[in-house]
Homo-oligomer: A and B are copies of this chain.
Amino acid sequence: MAPPLSADLYVEVQTFYARQMRALDSGKLEDFAQSFTEDGVMRHVSRDDHVQGREAILAMLRAGLPAYDGFIPRHWFDKFLIETVDADTVRTDYYAMVTMTDAKGTVVLQPTCVVEDELVRVDGTLLLKSRVIRRDDLLLR
Contact = CB atoms under 8 A, between A and B. Distances in A.
Interface in A11-56: 11, 14-15, 17-19, 21-22
Q: How large is the interface on A (under 10, 10 to 19, 20 to 34, 35 or more residues)?
A: 35 or more
Contacts of A76: 76, 78-79, 95, 97
Interface in A96-117: 97, 99, 101-107, 109-112
Interface string A1-17: 00001111011001101
A63 interface: no
Contacts of A101: 111-112, 136-137, 140
A43 to B, nearest CB: 19
Interface of A: 5-8, 10-11, 14-15, 17-19, 21-22, 70-72, 74-82, 94-95, 97, 99, 101-107, 109-112, 135-137, 139-141
A-B residue pairs, 6 tightest by C-beta: A7-B7, A103-B140, A107-B109, A105-B137, A72-B136, A18-B79
